[in-house]
Chains A and B, each alone.
Chain A
Amino acid sequence: MADDYPTMFHSEQMSLIQLYIPTEVAHDSTHELGELGNVQFKDLNPNVNPFQRSFVGEIRRTEDMARRIRFFTSQIEKEKDVIPVRPLYDSAPLVAVGPRAAQTIDELNVTLAEHETRLNQMNDSYKTLSERTRELVEARYVLRETAGFFEQAEGRHTEIRQSLDDSTAPLLQHDDRENQFSSSNVQFDLEFVAGTIDRARVPTFERVLWRVLRGNLYMNHIDIAEPFVDPSTGAETRKNVFIIFAHGDALLAKIRKISESMGATLYPIDSNADKRAESLREVTSRLEDLEVVLYNTGANRRSELLRIGENLSKWHDVVRKEKLIYETMNLFNYDARRKTLLAEGWCPTRDITTIQLALRHATEESGTSVVPILQELRTKKTPPTFNRTNKFTEGFQTIMDSYGIATYQEANPGLFAVVTFPFLFAVMFGDIGHGIIIAVAALYMILRERQWAKADLGEIVGQFFFGRYIILMMGIFSIYTGFMYNDIFSKALHLGHSGWDWPEGNVTGTITAVSNGHVYPFGLDPAWHEADNGLVFMNSYKMKMAVVLGVIHMTFALCMQVPNAIRFNRKTDIWTVFVPQMLFLQSIFGYLVICILYKWSIDWTKASTQPPSLLNMLISMVLSPGTIEPESQLYPGQGFVQVVLLLIAVVCVPWMLCTKPYLQWKELQKTHGQGYVGLGNDEDHAPLRASTDEHLEGEEEGNGRVIVEEADESEHHDFGEVVIHQVIHTIEFCLGCISHTASYLRLWALSLAHAQLSEVLWDMTMSKVEGLGGIIGIIAMIFVTVLWFVLTVAVLCIMEGLSAFLHAVRLHWVEANSKHYEGSGYVSAVPSFCLLAMYLC
């Protein structure tokens, strides 16, 4: 087609290419293409199970490598002291292409495996060691805490005995026995079990024990202050020391069994205080030894992790690329002799040379002499839509793409959205102050672009960041419309001489400003801000402006049909669809716009009649054509003009309704008359040639190729369908014109709401403290200013901004796109390392 120069107006021209890649260079070529990132490969073996494809073994190996890398990453992340991971741009690249590629990967695999085993060993020994340490620490605690229990119990023991003995003494009179008792050392004959248990389980443990032993126990437990950290998971557990006194071997056995099954650890404790002290010493010394060993092991492990951290991101990058390469290569097909791989895919036509260069480069790199062969195929399949975007247009294109991906080579509304979108937004958001705030916010994001692009910002901030250029444009346009409305934080600017003078002196009651002959140079005269009828004036002005802007926007959108019709070779569409639609729109709403402009241009103070209501004029134009009340006449000859316009509009309806189906029907008759059925009547300009070529190619390639075209979409034109489609389309358009024009009034409504809201905010906060003096006044001033600013940002800039954004999106999607946009394309998805790298960093 005509223009080869790439524009944003159409999506990129795509070609179906076929690549014959010798197996030796397949890996490197795919790598090059991945770096380039502009070929969208088609799956040539759709019927093959994922695990039966050619390169499953390689993928599995890379997956295993990826698993190891994930393991390292998680280990590094778990480490408390931060281990530096050298960023990708800082590390020496690992060359995974060229003649030594396979070797490099093998070596990498071995290195990874070595690191993994070493790390695992260290982890294991670290774990056992820390397990032992933990046990010793627990033992120390148990010894220490139980000592407390014993002392307490001893004290109580004697007390109880003595009191008992006192009361019984007179009755039993066993003096000798008592003497014996008191003379002998207080010895413990109670058996006990001591250990540690998870704190969360203490209540259950106690309950179960109580129930099993029927209350025949005395249990004591105490918290261990410091938590125990599991070395492998990093989870903290808090434990309690417990000691249970009970009597009888059976009971003790039961207690032991229960404690063990509840996850408690038991420690042998002697009831003798000396022995306890001795074992405490022993435990402490062993603990010291162990801690030294543990420290060394930890340090070793850390240095190993540091070594890994040096290379981690490099490995990660290589492994991900390898995986992507093999996944892409799985889409390819082997030829009969399994010497070459066959790939098919879409790429932008003007990139073919780049691709060829890349392929040649890959061949040179890999040191072989066989060059991959690139061949362009002719096809009738619709290519994917591929819009080249840069960081500026990306956001705008995304707004349009989320409505629908443009049909291949259709006029792209994303281009115009760059201007119309922020403009319509700004009409609703017109305020210099708010505009500056959001423009500054966007500028900040743009300046921090490099850092932020790499960071993970979270969903909400990430979205704002993605739309930073949209926000910047919206801010700039809002400043502009703010000047037009002469609004800065609901106040007016006095940039020039106002055209109105307020009478001097103290006058009570209504005062009237007098025109002084000046014309305010730019935007709205600030005098209106203080006027009582300011709101009435603004309403009328903004409402009319909304209609004017709306009709212009719709007319423009309608015009987009023309390039589409030319591009898709549907010239009749211009006469059957575009012209009647345009006439219909212009004869009613275009006329309304002209009347609005005309009415604005007349000085009604000097006219003989009152200014007529344009709304009533439009209604009566349709309801009682030709009759104009003399007092509401806008211009002479109005009746006649309106009748003519109405007639044009009326004629347009059957025009839209009938001509297109009729022409198609005639076309159909003609082809039938010539004896063709079905095949020849599609709109492709070279149908016959293309299909024969296709056929020939299919023969040439033999069995190396799975069917490229499953079945050409049948172009069977059902005539009834065409008629129904046209009827719906016509009705939709005619009703749409009315409702869409009305819909543009949202420009007025939102702009009004925004202005009023910011005025209310000012009145409720700033104006309350304006007059206050003294310390209190200053404090109040600061406080209220902060409050006012926070509310301005939160409510007016963010909330109102989002709402205006939403309405601007709607105006583009519904009101404008419905006039021309087909949006039936499918997006072009390319395997690319650029994207990968973006996610990586």
Chain B
Amino acid sequence: MEGLFFNVDNGFLEGIVRGYKAGILTQSHYSSLTQCETLEDFKTQLSATDYGNFLANEPSPISTTTIADKATQILVDQFNFIRSNAVEPLSKFLDYITYGYMIDNIVLLITGTLHERDTHELMERCHPLGVFDTMPALCVATNVEELYHSVLVETPLAPYFRDCLSAADLDDLNIEIVRNTVYKAYLEDFYDYCASLGGPTADVMQSTLAFEADRRTINITINSFDTDLSKEQRAKLFPAIGRLFPDGNNQLAKADEIEQVRVACENVTEYRAFFDTSISAQGNGGASNDYGGESGVAAMLEDRFFRQEVYLNKLAFLQQFQHGVFYSYMKLKEQEIRNLTWIAECIAQDARDRIQDFIPIF
């Protein structure tokens, strides 16, 4: 049934987004991009893709940041086009996508203010999709409660912050906890919203968001080793969704080392693979440098997570009549921008041996 009326409101935009998706760089594009000698070559090569002449008006020595900025700008323009053409419930869904960026921006701003950076410089570094009117006022706040009452109360993020109100002064750990609590609330809310949409949207988005939640859970666990974050606090940060919930989450809450994380993830087949090889890699690296080994594992995990994310987002395009494609397109495109930046960075710094370490999408 949902297929019957889907196209009335969303057919045009789905067509647009699938068209955009066809412009995502493929393996052959990447292989010619990695052959580039200079960033000039890189620019020429990119102009043969869907990016077109987006760098044509940049004066000649271009920097990697310009490339990343311009590519992001294209993505933002595309998103804004879609957003302005969307109607309920898709528009609400698209708003949900921006909330993630808003959270990131808020955290960026308050961290920056804490370290006394210039507000304007911080504003420029914010993701354009997560910008909201009252954002600049964030810089005056010194604790979460003030933050909430002065600025956030009128943003859509207000409900997420309600759980972590405290009068305690902001410090780095605090901000990190706030970020994770808010993100947990956001993910759960988004998950519920997708569930309320029902149909294929719920199917697709729930699996994507479940993975996102699990990823956060595992990351929080690994990052909280050897910090003064108590285990109860840690458990509170875990999203109450995902495939590891609740058993895996409980195990992770008690974990003290990476081996226990691995055991907790044993139950999910897909996640088992993340650890299998990484453990062996760690074995090769030797036990002498324990901390380095662990961060190596974390880096490798991160890479695997990205690959899995790309895989899941690609799956979303196999399903018709659902909103998941919009979310997936944004995520894939972000990955693509990360890839481009990576390759450009490798070219600029002449680090040819690592140039292949991007994550191909198609």
Given contacts A56-B44, A208-B151, A212-B140, contact A261 B134 (CB under 8 A): no
The answer to the question of A207 belonging to the interface, with a C-beta cut-off of 8 Å to chain B, is yes
The answer to the question of B100 belonging to the interface, with a C-beta cut-off of 8 Å to chain A, is no
Which of these binds chain A: B54-62, B168-176, B214-222, B232-240? Answer: B54-62
The answer to the question of A64 belonging to the interface, with a C-beta cut-off of 8 Å to chain B, is yes
Which chain B residue shows the least CB distance to A208? Answer: B137
Which of these binds chain B: A104-112, A145-153, A170-178, A252-260? Answer: A252-260
Which chain B residue shows the least CB distance to A49? Answer: B32
Are A258 and B44 in contact (CB-based, < 8 A)? no
Are B60 and A211 in contact (CB-based, < 8 A)? no
Give the distance to chain A from B160, nearest Cβ to Cβ, in Å. Answer: 19
One digit per residue, 1 when the CB lies within 8 angstroms of any chain A CB and 0 when it does not, for chain B 132-162 equals 0110110110000010011101100000000
Which of these binds chain A: B34-42, B69-77, B327-335? Answer: B34-42
Which chain B residue shows the least CB distance to A63? Answer: B56
Are B133 and A211 in contact (CB-based, < 8 A)? no
Give the distance to chain B from A118, nearest Cβ to Cβ, in Å. Answer: 15
Other-chain contact of A207, B35, B60, B149, B154 (Cβ < 8 Å): B154
Interface residues of A in 205-219 (CB under 8 A from B): 207-208, 211-212
Which chain A residue shows the least CB distance to B138? Answer: A261
The answer to the question of A262 belonging to the interface, with a C-beta cut-off of 8 Å to chain B, is yes
One digit per residue, 1 when the CB lies within 8 angstroms of any chain B CB and 0 when it does not, for chain A 256-295 equals 0110111100000000000000000000000000000000
Q: Using Cβ atoms and an 8 Å threshold, which residues of chain B touch A212? A: 137, 140, 146, 150
Other-chain contact of A211, B40, B44, B153 (Cβ < 8 Å): B153
Give the distance to chain A from B84, nearest Cβ to Cβ, in Å. Answer: 18
Are A262 and B137 in contact (CB-based, < 8 A)? yes
**Bound: A60/B55 CA distance, A:** 13
Place the interface of chain B in its size category: 20 to 34
Are B56 and A257 in contact (CB-based, < 8 A)? no
Interface residues of A in 187-246 (CB under 8 A from B): 201, 204, 207-208, 211-212
Interface residues of A in 314-344 (CB under 8 A from B): none
**Bound: A207/B120 CA distance, A:** 21
Other-chain contact of B44, A50, A71, A201, A208 (Cβ < 8 Å): A50
Which chain A residue shows the least CB distance to B136? Answer: A261
Other-chain contact of B140, A52, A71, A204, A258 (Cβ < 8 Å): A258
**Bound: A263/B123 CA distance, A:** 11
Other-chain contact of A254, B41, B136, B140 (Cβ < 8 Å): B140
The answer to the question of B1 belonging to the interface, with a C-beta cut-off of 8 Å to chain A, is no
Interface residues of B in 17-67 (CB under 8 A from A): 32, 35-36, 40-41, 44-45, 48, 56-57, 59-60
Q: Using Cβ atoms and an 8 Å threshold, which residues of chain A touch B119? A: 257, 260-261
Other-chain contact of B139, A50, A204, A207, A261 (Cβ < 8 Å): A261
Are A262 and B60 in contact (CB-based, < 8 A)? no
Which chain A residue shows the least CB distance to B154? Answer: A207
- Consensus secondary structure, chain A interface: helix
Give the distance to chain B from A1, nearest Cβ to Cβ, in Å. Answer: 40
Are A207 and B134 in contact (CB-based, < 8 A)? yes
Q: Using Cβ atoms and an 8 Å threshold, which residues of chain A touch B57? A: 67, 70-71
Other-chain contact of B136, A63, A64, A263 (Cβ < 8 Å): A263
Are B45 and A49 in contact (CB-based, < 8 A)? yes
Are B136 and A258 in contact (CB-based, < 8 A)? yes
Place the interface of chain A in its size category: 20 to 34
**Bound: A51/B45 CA distance, A:** 7
One digit per residue, 1 when the CB lies within 8 angstroms of any chain B CB and 0 when it does not, for chain A 44-60 equals 00000111100010001
Are A258 and B137 in contact (CB-based, < 8 A)? yes
One digit per residue, 1 when the CB lies within 8 angstroms of any chain A CB and 0 when it does not, for chain B 115-127 equals 0000110010000
Q: Using Cβ atoms and an 8 Å threshold, which residues of chain A touch B149? A: 211
Give the distance to chain B from A209, nearest Cβ to Cβ, in Å. Answer: 8
Q: Using Cβ atoms and an 8 Å threshold, which residues of chain B touch A56? A: 41, 44
Q: Using Cβ atoms and an 8 Å threshold, which residues of chain B touch A70? A: 56-57
**Bound: A764/B349 CA distance, A:** 80
Q: Using Cβ atoms and an 8 Å threshold, which residues of chain B touch A257? A: 119, 139-140
**Bound: A56/B44 CA distance, A:** 9
Other-chain contact of B48, A50, A208, A211, A263 (Cβ < 8 Å): A50
**Bound: A469/B119 CA distance, A:** 64
Q: Using Cβ atoms and an 8 Å threshold, which residues of chain A touch B154? A: 207
Given contacts A63-B56, A64-B60, contact A262 B136 (CB under 8 A): yes
Give the distance to chain B from A545, nearest Cβ to Cβ, in Å. Answer: 46
**Bound: A263/B119 CA distance, A:** 10
Q: Using Cβ atoms and an 8 Å threshold, which residues of chain B touch A261? A: 119-120, 123, 136-137, 139-140
**Bound: A440/B147 CA distance, A:** 73
**Bound: A52/B48 CA distance, A:** 13
Which chain B residue shows the least CB distance to A204? Answer: B133
Which chain B residue shows the least CB distance to A264? Answer: B136
Q: Using Cβ atoms and an 8 Å threshold, which residues of chain B touch A63? A: 56
Which chain A residue shows the least CB distance to B141? Answer: A212
Interface residues of A in 748-781 (CB under 8 A from B): none
Give the distance to chain B from A537, nearest Cβ to Cβ, in Å. Answer: 51
Which chain A residue shows the least CB distance to B137? Answer: A208
Interface residues of B in 302-350 (CB under 8 A from A): none
Q: Using Cβ atoms and an 8 Å threshold, which residues of chain A touch B48? A: 50
**Bound: A356/B138 CA distance, A:** 74
Give the distance to chain B from A119, nearest Cβ to Cβ, in Å. Answer: 13
The 14 listed contacts between A and B (C-beta, < 8 Å) are A50-B48, A51-B44, A51-B45, A63-B56, A67-B56, A204-B133, A207-B154, A208-B134, A208-B151, A211-B153, A258-B137, A258-B139, A258-B140, A263-B136
Known: A50-B44, A51-B45. 19 other contacts (CB 8 A): A49-B32, A49-B35, A50-B48, A51-B36, A51-B40, A60-B44, A63-B56, A70-B57, A71-B57, A204-B134, A208-B134, A211-B149, A212-B150, A254-B140, A257-B140, A258-B136, A261-B119, A261-B137, A263-B136
A residues contacting B by CB (< 8 A) are 49-52, 56, 60, 63-64, 67, 70-71, 201, 204, 207-208, 211-212, 254, 257-258, 260-263
B residues contacting A by CB (< 8 A) are 32, 35-36, 40-41, 44-45, 48, 56-57, 59-60, 119-120, 123, 133-134, 136-137, 139-140, 146, 149-151, 153-154
